[in-house]
Amino acid sequence: MIFIRFAFRNRRSRDLLQVSRSNGNGLDHPRIGLVVGKKTAKRANERNYMKRVIRDWFRLNKNRLPPQDFVVRVRRKFDRATAKQARAELAQLMFGNPATGCGKQV
């Protein structure tokens, strides 16, 4: 497995999520990596819930995504009450145009 470095910009944001993407992974399907730090959520069950929400969204939408590597970083904690907002933001970042800042090309 090839690991690709993704650099996140140091900028303050009110967004829940941040997505970086590669130019292509040489495969015919997209792949996802998840980053949920302890600073975001102290408890493991909270971090696992956020990862589950993102993985589930990816599983349902991976046929519509280009064959790229995506790294999703959770910037702010979300729970069941705000999971819908996180899914909507993830859709905007994944399907958005990289030229407009929705997902950074690496």
Task: Give the tens place of pLDDT for each residue, 5-21.
Answer: 544 444 445 678 888 87
Q: Over the stretch 88-106, which tens digit does the pLDDT of each residue have?
A: 999 998 887 544 444 444 3
- Give the domains, in start order, of the chain with CATH numbers: 17-105 (3.30.230.10)
User: For 40-66, how does the pLDDT look when each residue is reduced to its tens digit (9 = 90+)?
Assistant: 999 999 999 999 999 999 999 999 998
Distances (CA, A) of 25 to 30, 69, 97: 8, 6, 18
